[in-house]
Amino acid sequence: MTQARPATATSPFWDRIARKYAARPIGNMAAYEKTLSQTRAYLTPTDRVLEIGCGTASTALLLAPDVAQYTASDISAEMVAIGREKAETAQVDGLTTVQGTLGDPALGAGPFDAVLAFNLLHLMPDPGAEARKVHALLRPGGVFISKSACLSGWRMVLRPLIGVMQLLGKAPYVRFMSVAALERMIRDAGFEIVESNDPSGSVSGRFIVARKL
C-alpha cells in the first residue's frame, strides 16, 4: 500500500527531468543487483526502514517486501508522484511514499532500524550534516546504508564542465570527494563502518554500511 503525504519544498531540476529519469534503463544491472543483495543482508522482516532520495521508488518496490515498514522519500514532487503510481500498481504492503527531506516531519519520527541513501550523498552540499541527521533518526545499532559516487583525482577536471551545466540548468549540484573523505564524514557523524566496497568494480563508486555507535 502507498500513501501520499502533503507536499513540501521541491527541486525544480529533478521535477523537470523526472519522467525522462524514470524511463532510463539501469546502466549496470549486475552492480545494481549486487547492491540490492548486499543491502538485504542487513535488513530483517521486522525492520522499519527509511529511504532518502528514493527517486521514482524503483529500489523501494524491490526492498519493501523484505521489511515491516518502508518509507520512500524524495525532495522532488514529480519523482514521488511517479513512485506513487508504480507503488499503487505493484500493491506492496507497508510501503509509503513521501515528499520531503531529512528533518521534515512528513518522513515520520524515528527510530528507524535502517536508513538508505542510494546515489545521493554526492548530490548534497554537506553530506556530513545529513549523516548526522540520519544518526539521530536511527535506533542504537541501526544501520546507515549508502551508495555514492566519489569523484576525486583526475575526475576533478569535470568540475568546471559540471559548473557550466548547472548554470544552464542541465545538471544538479555535485560534490567532488574521495572515498576516504566520504568515510571520514560518516565516521565523524557517529558511525562505525562495517562494510565499504564498490559493487560495480570501479574506483569511483562506494557502497558503505555504517552502524550507529
State pLDDT tens for residues 55-89: 999 999 999 999 999 999 999 999 999 999 999 99
Using DSSP's 3-state secondary structure scheme, residue 10 falls into: coil
What values do phi and psi take at 69, rounded to 5?
A: -145, 130
- Alpha helices, DSSP H, located in 91-202: 127-137, 158-167, 179-188
Distance of CA 76 to the CA centre of its chain: 13
64's CB contacts (< 8 A; 6+ apart) are 49, 70, 72, 92, 93, 94, 95
Q: Name the band, by pLDDT with cuts 50, 70 and 90, for residue 157.
A: low
Q: Please say whether the beta carbons of 123 and 93 come within 8 A.
A: no
The rounded distance, in Å, linking the Cα atoms of 11 and 37 is 30
Taking the domains of the chain in order of start, what are their residue ranges? 12-212
The predicted pLDDT at position 76 comes to 95
Name which of 162, 121, 114, 120 is nearest 138 in CA terms.
114
The rounded distance, in Å, linking the Cα atoms of 67 and 149 is 27
Give tens-digit pLDDT for 12-63: 889 998 999 899 989 889 999 999 999 999 999 999 999 999 999 999 999 9
The predicted pLDDT at position 2 comes to 44
Distance of CA 47 to the CA centre of its chain: 17
Return the CATH number of the domain spanning residue range 12-212.
Answer: 3.40.50.150
Q: What is the pTM of this model?
A: 0.89
Q: Please say whether the beta carbons of 177 and 150 come within 8 A.
A: yes
Specify the range with the lowest mean pLDDT, choosing from 20-24, 49-53, 110-114, 149-153. 149-153
Give the end-to-end CA distance of the chain in Å, rounded to a whole number: 33
| Whether the predicted pLDDT of 5 surpasses 50 | no
For 94-106, give one letter per residue: b (16+ CB within 10 A) or e: bbbbbbbbbebeb
The rounded distance, in Å, linking the Cα atoms of 92 and 156 is 41
